[in-house]
Chain A
Amino acid sequence: MAKIETLIFLVIIILVALLISLRALRRSRTSSGYFVADGGFTPGQNGMAIAGDFLSAAAFLGITGATALHGLSGFYLAISVPTTFVLVTMIIAEPLRALGRYTLSDVLAARFEDRKLRALAAINALTISSLFMIAQFVGAGLVLHLLLHLSYPVSLISIGVLMTIYVSTGGMLAVTWIQIFKTSLLLIAGVVLFLLTLSHFNWNPANILSAALTRMGPAAILPPHPNSLIKSLDYISLNFAVALGTIGLPHVIVRFLTVRNTHAARASALTASWIIALFLLSIAVTGLGAAALLGTDAIHKANQAGTLATPMLADFVGGSLLFAFVSAVVFATSIAVIAGVAISASATFVLDLYANILRRHAGEHERMVAGRLATIGVCVVALLISLGAAHLNLALIGVLAFTVAASGNVPVLLLTLFWRNFNGMGALCGMAGGFIASVGLVLIGPIVCGHAALFPLANVGLASIPIGFLSAFAGTWLSRRDPEAQARFDAIMAKISLTS
């Protein structure tokens, strides 16, 4: 289908991204330039980039497909996203900009001078980034295989090689501009699909709903009703992890360090919230529109998870040209999202592990070389794992990344910013407790152990997030009060107020 048109769009996207990377090369010769683009983005640009980080191919194709196949129950995947951005905007955007330089560890270091904590935060961040990258890599490889009929390894390697070139050449500046470019393309694709779908129903969304009801039955409007208590708790646990997890995602955290001040950090979070919310709402219409126009049987037959609902709808309402454009946008989305995670992972490796623990006297040039090599290393490792992970459940890997972030990072981040008596031991216990609980419960849960599972929930956030908080409280209460950490808390509050 539409091979020539798709190829033309792909070549244009690859060349534009390459041009962006080459232009960014000149300004990416220092650590600050390479990892956070010298904090030089405007709130509008950064908001577009944050939205791009969040609107992955999984969101674009996955939520539309789930809505097309399961109606309202499928759309439930999206309902926690606006809430998470309220939390990001109000709780972490400004403090992060006021305190951080490159990574989450910098924020923790503003209160606690503990190399063990810094190392643990780095390991935690690298685990989350790796899980996220693998989920994105595998998803992108499978989607390109379905859309462009490339073999899975070729799809994966082409994404990996291009993304590595872009990131290692242009650093955060290139990653952000590629993300902005991709978000613009994604919004164009979303708006065109939304309008063309509406045009088939006399521009009345109510007609889409009634047509979807006819094709799907009551599932179009009924919320999920799992048939057991465990499945019900699993559902709530999933929403809990998604609502809190974004606050602790390293590649989202680093975005607030790429703007000039706290005011710009807040404004960029607001911009991102609007873009994401409106885009996801439009997906509800296109998802139901796909069900009404194509029928759930055809969507399910093309792909069991409904991943191809969006391109199939594009082909139906806009012909081969729109199909080719949507396919190319999916390709751009995959590269941009993985690039965002890769730059954050390499910053964590170089600045938190290499320059703070392994080679403390590393100079600027050495850090830059290490940064570029780390980017290549991170990409190659994720690529190799992804090549053998095509059969894994992507949704679960993605949710695991959110759960580890929500359990290991979020309690420590929140208590660092809001609790004066919180101390270094509490931070260490909270981070270790949340991390071990989230990974450990998955290992003894039904995903890994099947019917022999010792823990019943597949989504473990409902247990691991409270464990993260309790570990942090217990660590603080059972250790000595730290007057220095309290004094630093006062200084931090003053700094946040003044920088506002």
Chain B
Amino acid sequence: MLSSTRPGPSTGSKDIENLNETGAPDHTWHLRRLNRKKRIFVLIAATGILIFNLAQPVLSVFTTILDAPAFAGLSWGWVYAIAQFVVPLALLQTYRHYMTRWEKEAFQAGRCSHG
């Protein structure tokens, strides 16, 4: 991913924006781009998990969908309640994975810009 977006030596207008006044690739451009990626991920993930969480009490009090038996003696209500733990933990691990990757990219971009 980094190689496809790293500022290169071409003189295309977008690339010129990514060079600093000394002609070296601009590290802050990478930081801004990674920061934007992170903010979009956080916005989607946080909104999604909040809706997922609030959907359970809403479904519970206004419908009987979660009353139905699911499997192994559990109702869909219990399955959803357990998912309220599994899904956030999986999301946190995904977040950790992406953050580690983005920070590596930022670090490498920083090294490139400093020669």
- Chain B interfacial residues counted at CB < 8 A: 44
Q: Is A277 located at the chain interface by the 8 A CB criterion?
A: yes
A243 touches which of B50, B64, B69, B92 (Cβ 8 Å):
B50
A500 touches which of B42, B64, B103 (Cβ 8 Å):
B103
Whether A240 contacts B54 by the Cβ 8 Å rule is: yes
Selected interface stretch from A28-36, A222-230, A445-453: A222-230
Interface string of B13-49 (1 = CB under 8 A from A): 0000000000000001001101100010010011001
Contacts of A243 in B (CB 8 A): 50, 53-54
Q: Is B7 located at the chain interface by the 8 A CB criterion?
A: no
Whether B73 contacts A223 by the Cβ 8 Å rule is: no
Which residues of B in the span 82-107 have a Cβ within 8 Å of any Cβ on A?
Answer: 82, 84-85, 88-89, 91-92, 95-96, 99, 103, 106
Selected interface stretch from A78-86, A151-159, A167-175: A78-86
B99 vs chain A, min Cβ distance (A): 7
B74 touches which of A83, A221, A273 (Cβ 8 Å):
A221
The total of interchain contacts (Cβ-Cβ below 8 angstroms) comes to 124
Which residues of A in the span 189-236 have a Cβ within 8 Å of any Cβ on B?
Answer: 206, 209-210, 213, 221-226, 231-232, 235-236
CA distance A76 to B99 in the complex (A): 31
A303 vs chain B, min Cβ distance (A): 24
Selected interface stretch from A87-95, A128-136, A388-396: A87-95
CA distance A498 to B107 in the complex (A): 10
Contacts of A90 in B (CB 8 A): 42, 45-46, 95
Q: Contacts A82-B84, A270-B92, A497-B31 known; A225 to B50 CB distance under 8 Å?
A: no
Whether A86 contacts B45 by the Cβ 8 Å rule is: yes
Q: For A205, give the chain B residue with the smallest CB separation.
A: B72
Whether A223 contacts B67 by the Cβ 8 Å rule is: yes
B66 vs chain A, min Cβ distance (A): 5
Interface string of B58-79 (1 = CB under 8 A from A): 1111101011010011110110
Whether B61 contacts A280 by the Cβ 8 Å rule is: no
Contacts of B53 in A (CB 8 A): 79-80, 83, 239, 243
B57 touches which of A76, A86, A221 (Cβ 8 Å):
A76
Q: Is A10 located at the chain interface by the 8 A CB criterion?
A: no
Q: Contacts A87-B49, A223-B60, A236-B58 known; A206 to B73 CB distance under 8 Å?
A: yes
Q: Contacts A87-B50, A235-B61 known; A266 to B99 CB distance under 8 Å?
A: yes
Q: Contacts A75-B81, A83-B50, A277-B88 known; A232 to B61 CB distance under 8 Å?
A: yes
Whether A222 contacts B45 by the Cβ 8 Å rule is: no
Whether A86 contacts B92 by the Cβ 8 Å rule is: yes
Q: For A232, give the chain B residue with the smallest CB separation.
A: B61
Whether B84 contacts A221 by the Cβ 8 Å rule is: no
Q: Is B56 located at the chain interface by the 8 A CB criterion?
A: yes
CA distance A239 to B50 in the complex (A): 10
Contacts of A266 in B (CB 8 A): 96, 99
Whether B84 contacts A79 by the Cβ 8 Å rule is: yes
Contacts of B28 in A (CB 8 A): 494
Q: Which of A231, A236, A284 has the most CB of B within 10 A?
A: A236
Q: Contacts A91-B42, A223-B75 known; A239 to B82 CB distance under 8 Å?
A: no
26 residue pairs of the A-B complex, CB under 8 angstroms, read A72-B77, A72-B78, A72-B81, A76-B60, A83-B49, A83-B53, A86-B95, A87-B49, A91-B42, A209-B73, A222-B77, A223-B59, A223-B75, A231-B61, A235-B60, A235-B61, A243-B50, A243-B53, A243-B54, A266-B96, A273-B88, A277-B88, A280-B85, A494-B28, A496-B35, A497-B32
Return the 9 tightest CB-CB contacts between A and B, nearest first. Answer: A223-B60, A223-B77, A232-B61, A82-B88, A83-B53, A221-B75, A79-B84, A497-B31, A86-B88
Q: Which residues in A have some Cβ–Cβ distance to B below 8 Å? A: 72, 75-76, 79-80, 82-83, 85-87, 89-91, 206, 209-210, 213, 221-226, 231-232, 235-236, 239-240, 243, 263, 266, 270, 273-274, 277, 280-281, 284, 418, 493-494, 496-498, 500
What would 19 more interface pairs be, CB under 8 Å, given A222-B75, A273-B89?
A: A72-B75, A72-B77, A72-B78, A72-B81, A75-B81, A79-B53, A89-B95, A91-B42, A206-B73, A209-B72, A213-B73, A223-B59, A231-B61, A232-B61, A239-B57, A281-B85, A493-B35, A494-B31, A497-B34
